[in-house]
Structure 1
Amino acid sequence: MIVATWIVFFASRSLVRVLRLTVEQLQSVQFWPSLSSGRAMGNSGVCREDSDVEEGSAPRRQQLRRVENSPRRKKQNVDSLVLDTLAVIRTLVDNDQEPPYSMITLHEMAETDDGWLEVVQSLIRVIPLDDPLGPAVITLLLDECPLPTKDALQKLSDMLNLSAAVARQDALIPAKHRNTTAVLGCLAEKLAGPASIALLSPGTLEYLLESLVRISEAHPTVMLFALIALEKFSQTSENKLTVSESCISKRLSVLECWADHPDYLKRQVGFCAQWSLDNLFIKEGRQFTYEKVNLNNINAMLNSNDVSEYLKISPTGLEARCDASSFESVRCTFCVDSGVWYYEVTVITSGVMQIGWATKDSKFLNHEGYGIGDDEYSCAYDGCRQLIWYNARSKPHSHPCWKEGDAIGFLLDLSKKQMIFYLNGHQLPPEKQVFSSATSGFFAAASFMSYQQCEFNFGAKPFRHPPSIKFNTFNEFASLASDEKIILPRHRRLALLKQVSIRDNCCTLCCDQMADTELRPCLHSGICMECALQLETCPLCRQDIKTRVRLISHVS
């Protein structure tokens, strides 16, 4: 008899795995717990309360999960396990692959305070600076590990003993410096309230700010992850006040000029500095970027109203970045039904992104790791893992791994029902699978793993590697009203939403259409048919939806 334990890796759809354990295996391997805590920004957890367990005894939650009399897995070298996970993570490409043994072992080790501390120290110590998946693997491993206890967090703070002086010392070891800031950012995102406040001690704040002061000495990637850590700490209101009082806005004002820097690391720093000034650390007297950017020649952009919740979009609407632990997605504002179309993307970071074409039926399930290429209505190019994605299945392609500055081309030929992907002008064979499910209504679309960024060109400027065949561009045929081009900062968007009056009996999901649909068999209602068709389970009771019935009497 086989017992199946399902494990969801939220970093990307390709990391979703199924771990099947036989009855015999259950005697030697403990269950991997279902981790629902702190998957993404705004859904954080709190510390475990295991610190009061009697000395010499395992935590109660750990005892409940472990099969009686099961032997502990032999302790292994933590550094080797971390590096093994980093090496194998890009090979996890199919849904039926098991999680790597190294990741399972690290998770088991992290169930005790000492083990968790060993894992964190190893992440700081051994993740190399030049691996594009390094920071994402730090996030993935810490996100999958059990929440630390208060004692473990205190021990970590004592061991790191962070300060401005330590930051100056670590500046000589950029990998350690970057990894420390990445770990702090991940913990800030995962924890909430008092735990996050306690972690942002005066010494920790000095350590992070020091990297933003010594611009000529700090490595750009250290500056980037220090800024991201401060951003994530500021999700807690008390921390936000503390960080704001440190005059961080003055430091960010110097860095935001890097937003168009030819050095792609500095460009990331500039993007995040500008985003933070617009959305978090408001500087008095500073004009918001969206108020001064020139969008006169922009007729198509990324749709800020058709995007998963934590993706950052530039004020131009043409650059996007993900710094959350979820798999964030976005579509373009322009939809095409016929003809031949082309757009390009410049790679800013060389990690995991799935970029291509999607219809409106394609679902963005960021917390579950579903993105472009993970259903039958979309197809995506993945240059990091050298894969083509369709319907949550992948196949290898012949292009080399993409790198910063590469131009990725995307051709859609609806007359021939084919898609062609290009790397710096070199094309792959056409892809046609998606046309068995969709023949029109296509958007340019992309999904981003943690710490990934790219820039889109929909035709507002010359393409770097245009295809030899005749094609159309979005910018040539699309149009946007002036107010549709504005990418508002989040606090201003929320202020506008509060002013919107919601009609009686409107859909509780989109707040736009009339709530005219009942879900069966659970009989819950309050939503429109358009939203209901995008759901597989009821949002109220989580019961599977068998049918959707329009209630005619509710239609005005």
Structure 2
Amino acid sequence: MGTCLCKDRSQRSRHVTSTTAGGGTAVGAGSGTTTVSITPTVLTNSGQRTASTSLRNYDDVSDLMVSEMLQHSDRNLENHGLLVYSVRGIDSLVVEALTLLRTLVDNDQEPPQSMLYIPKIAEEEKGWLVVVTSLIQSIPLEDPLGAAVITLLLDQCPLPSKSTTLKLTKLLKLSKDGCDGNFKSPRAQRNLCIILGCLAEKMAGPSSISLLTNDVLDYLISNMMYSDSPVVILHSIVAMEKFAETSQNKVTINKVLKSEPENLLMSLEKWYRSSQSEKQEVGFCAKWLLDNLFIVEGRKFSYESVDVNGLNVMLNSNDVSEYLKLSADGLEARCDASSFESVRCTFQVDSGVWYYEVSIVTAGVMQIGWATKNSKFLNHDGYGIGDDEYSMAYDGCRQLIWYHAQSRPHKHPCWKAGDVLGLLLDVDKQQLIFSLNGNCLLPNKELFTHAKSGFFAAASFMSYQQCSFNFGAKPFRFPPHKIAFKKFNDYGHLSSDEKVILPRHMKMALLQKESLPEGSCTLCCDKQASMVLWPCEHRGFCETCALQLERCPMCRVPIQERSADPEENTDRTITS
């Protein structure tokens, strides 16, 4: 379940409170001094954690003090003699949140206290700056949950004002020559790029345009050209993608990319077939951007050049949640959104014994297994495969088996890039078996309590996760021993048109040309539009699609409530 990491992303409308040059206050939760009383966990000189209650505020803290604190982590941020936090104390809260979120697997569990303190600290501008720089410096590169947790913690903090984000970029000293010396490590630069991407996504529109200064864009481009770290290059690409969600930014980025003697993305897409997982990620993202956002004249789209001969089963591009990226051959999937994205394959099994394999590209949270058509994809609520009674999934990051939104531990070690997950379904004996690199777990039978047939291979992905599927078109790495099984690819069938996975803009153009029933949902073009989004009052969405939206797709305003359209003669109200 990605619920604990994705749920209730309400995109708060409150802003960080900041004092302007003229003495005014930026738009935000309130004005003047904001003082909060919290009970933090702090580190004593002996390294022990202690709880202390004190009043804290972040007014009258200079930019110089913030900069000095970053260089002298033992220094406390004080105001009128009141203890606030040392940078080291905030670093401790960030690391504690990362550690505890791994164990937060139940919807009803209370979030760790550190997740409550961090947004409080960030309610004032100087506190927000210190929290963000702590995220940059504290989240380790090697933790598979690190990148997703940065997205989560930043999302819990107030939305910064334009002036606050400009202060951040000034503090980081971003330019074509790199960044401030405090942030030169691959860890810090990876985290920095993630934060830039998250801010671009949250601040879509004029705020995103103001954030993409020449220095910020030069920094991202220089990473792509000169960085020795594939992971820094990867997240620079993803940050540019999120900036390009705003059309003016897209034009700006495209102009810079075209001004280079050699297109940087075209150079990086060659890494797609690399044996090094991080380079494979870079190649996948570069190829996806070239197909969907930064189109190069004369370059063939991936679907035009990929060889799909012999592929009879793929991931279903018509049965996938909105932000999941699929490769042109339909065998690889990646999520860079802050939601829990899911997909099913094109082939259904009703009887017999079936097996498929998944190669792990990233070691974070993915739930991979089996699902029927009754299994729902609620990506923004964090519900995916294994989170209802019609699906079951294996989670190799948190070492869990998921069924009906409940989990239990398994005995496999945490998966890592390059590992192979095997998935065996025996419909006749009503059991399924998971294996990691050929090491099998005991059979699981719970799925058959509510589902007897109609099973699909399926998976759900947290942020920045990627894996590839083998449905039998090529030899399996760890085929089951002494068990007769069938391969999806030997029994499936796809027409030539069904094998084509179009770029999103082409798919949308085709949908617009199709003759649709009057009143159809503008997103799925299938069910009847019946919902109104509030507060913007935009219409044209069915209930299923409306529940999966977080922002109105027409005006990008955060959705606070969904209600039935009065013309439908119902009085239902659905709140997020």
Name the TM-score class by shorter chain. 0.7 to 0.9
Deviations 1:415-447 (A, max 9, x none): 111111010011111111121111111111000
Report the CA distance shift for 1:526/1:125 in structure 2 as closer, same or farther (over 3 A): closer
Establish whether residue 304 from structure 1 lines up as the match of residue 317 from structure 2: yes
- Structure 1 equivalent of residue 378 of structure 2: 365
How far the C-alpha of 1:56 sits from its partner, in A, is 11
Partner of 2:268: 255
**Aligned-partner Cα distance in 2 for 1:268–1:351:** 13
1:280 aligns with: 293
Matched with 2:515 is 501
Shift of 1:186: 1.0
Rate the CA distance shift 1:69–1:14 in 2: closer, same or farther, 3 A: closer
* Partner secondary structure for residue 433 of structure 2: strand
Query: How far is the alpha carbon of 1:47 from its aligned partner?
Result: 5.9
- Secondary structure in 2 matching 1:309: coil
What secondary structure sits across from 2:263 in the alignment? helix
Structure 2 unaligned segments of length 5 or more: list them.
Answer: 39-53, 57-82, 532-538, 550-561
Give the TM-score taking structure 1 as reference length: 0.83
Instruction: Please state if 1:346 is matched with 2:359.
Output: yes
Separation in structure 2 between the aligned mates of residue 516 and residue 118 of structure 1, nearest angstrom: 45
Q: d(CA) in 1 for partners of 2:522 and 2:255?
A: 39
1:194 has 2:206 as partner: yes
Change (3 A) 1:369 1:527: closer
Structure 2 Cα separation of the partners of residues 243 and 132 of structure 1: 30
Q: Is the 8 Å Cα contact of residues 361 and 534 (structure 1) preserved in structure 2? A: no
Rounded to whole Å, the distance in 1 between the matches of 2:493 and 2:459 is: 21
Distance 2:35 2:178 in 1: 44
> Are 1:12 and 2:22 counterparts?
no
Residues of 1 paired with 2:212 and 2:540: CA distance? 42
Aligned twin of 1:394:
407
CA distance in 2, matches of 1:529, 1:79: 42
Query: 2:78 matched to which residue of 1?
Result: none
Partner of 1:380: 393
Matching residue of 1:553: none
Choose the corresponding residue for 2:29, options 46, 61, 69: 61
Contact map agreement 2:35 2:55 (CA 8 A) in 1: no
Cα gap change, 1:483 to 1:101, in 2 (>3 Å): same
Give yes or no for the alignment of 1:148 onto 2:160: yes
Does the 8 Å contact 1:374/1:389 carry over to 2? yes
Corresponding position: 1:422 with 2:442: no
Distance in 1 between residues matched to 2:134 and 2:515, nearest whole Å = 52
For residues 11-34 of structure 1, what are the alpha-carbon distances to aligned partners after superposition, in whole Å with 9 as ceiling and x for unaligned?
Answer: 9224478xxxxxxxxxxxxxxxx7
Query: Quick one: structure 1 residues 69 and 204, their matched pair in 2 at CA, closer, same or farther if it must change by over 3 Å?
Result: closer
Match of 1:444, SS? strand
Deviation per CA, 1:75-117: give whole Å up to 9, x if none: 4411000111111111111222110111111011111111111
Q: Secondary structure at the match of 2:417?
A: coil
- Taking the aligned partners of 1:309 and 1:510, their CA distance within structure 2 comes to 10
Partner of 1:228: 238
Contact 1:363 1:534 in 2 (8 A): no
- Contact map agreement 2:37 2:55 (CA 8 A) in 1: no
Q: Tell me, yes or no, if structure 1 residue 454 matches structure 2 residue 467.
A: yes
Are positions 1:466 and 2:479 aligned together? Answer: yes
2: CA distance, partners of 1:168 / 1:80: 22
Q: Tell me, yes or no, if the aligned pair for 2:19 and 2:25 is still in contact at 8 Å.
A: no
Q: Where do residues 10-89 of structure 1 align in structure 2 (5 Å cutoff)?
A: 12-15=2-5, 36-37=10-11, 51=19, 61=29, 72=55, 75-76=84-85, 77-89=89-101
Instruction: Please state how far the C-alpha of 1:154 moved relative to its aligned partner.
Output: 2.2
**d(CA) in 1 for partners of 2:573 and 2:392?**
26
Which residue of structure 2 lines up, in the alignment, with residue 102 of structure 1? 114
CA drift of 1:143 comes to 1.1
Cα separation, partners in 2 of 1:81 and 1:532, compared to 1, 3 Å: closer
Identity level (%) = 55
Query: Conserved in 2, the CA contact under 8 Å of 1:231 and 1:276?
Result: yes
| Letter paired with 1:237 | S
CA displacement at 1:68 relative to structure 2: 10
Please state how far the C-alpha of 1:166 moved relative to its aligned partner: 2.3
Distance 1:210 1:531 in 2: 39
Counterpart for residue 535 of structure 2: none
Matched, 1:245 2:255: yes
Residue of structure 1 equivalent to 2:451: 438
Alignment of 1:511 with 2:525, yes or no, is: yes
Distance 1:530 1:276 in 2: 28
SS in 1 for 2:394: strand
User: Is 1:62–1:111's contact at 8 Å kept on the other side of the alignment?
Assistant: no
CA distance, structure 2, for counterparts of residue 196 and residue 517 of structure 1? 32
- Indicate yes or no: 2:156 matched with 1:160: no
| Deviation sequence 1:237-260 (CA, Å, 0-9, x none) | 111111001126801111111111
1:551 corresponding residue in structure 2:
none
In 2: Cα distance, 1:440 partner to 1:385 partner = 28
Structure 2 counterpart SS, 1:61: coil
Shift of 1:528: 9.6
Q: Which position in structure 2 is the counterpart of 1:552?
A: none
Partner SS for 1:310: coil
Shift of 1:153: 1.3
CA distance in 2, matches of 1:538, 1:431: 40
Classify 1:130/1:543 alpha carbon distance in 2 versus 1 (closer, same or farther; 3 Å). farther
Change (3 A) 1:338 1:504: same
Contact 2:434 2:440 in 1 (8 A): yes
The whole-number CA distance in structure 1 between the counterparts of 2:194 and 2:547 is 39
Tell me, what secondary structure is at the counterpart of 1:165?
Answer: coil
1:206-251 superposed Cα distances (whole Å, 9 cap, x missing partner): 100001112xx42000000000001110111111111001126801
Residue 180 of structure 1 corresponds to which residue in structure 2?
Answer: 192
Q: Contact between 2:358 and 2:422, CA under 8 Å: does it hold in 1?
A: yes
Is residue 115 of structure 1 aligned with residue 89 of structure 2? Answer: no
1:458–1:96 Cα change, 3 Å: same
Q: 1:61 to 1:293 in 2, by over 3 A?
A: same
**Partner residue, 2:556:** none
Any idea what the Cα deviations from partners look like across 1:41-93, whole Å, max 9, x if unmatched?
Answer: xxxx79667656997999873589x9999864774411000111111111111
Give the aligned partner of residue 28 of structure 1. Answer: none
C-alpha contact 2:174 2:180 (8 A) present in aligned 1: no
Q: Say which of 123, 135, 139 aligns to 1:127.
A: 139
1:192 is displaced (CA, Å) by 1.4
1:478 and 2:488 matched:
no
Aligned to 1:3: none
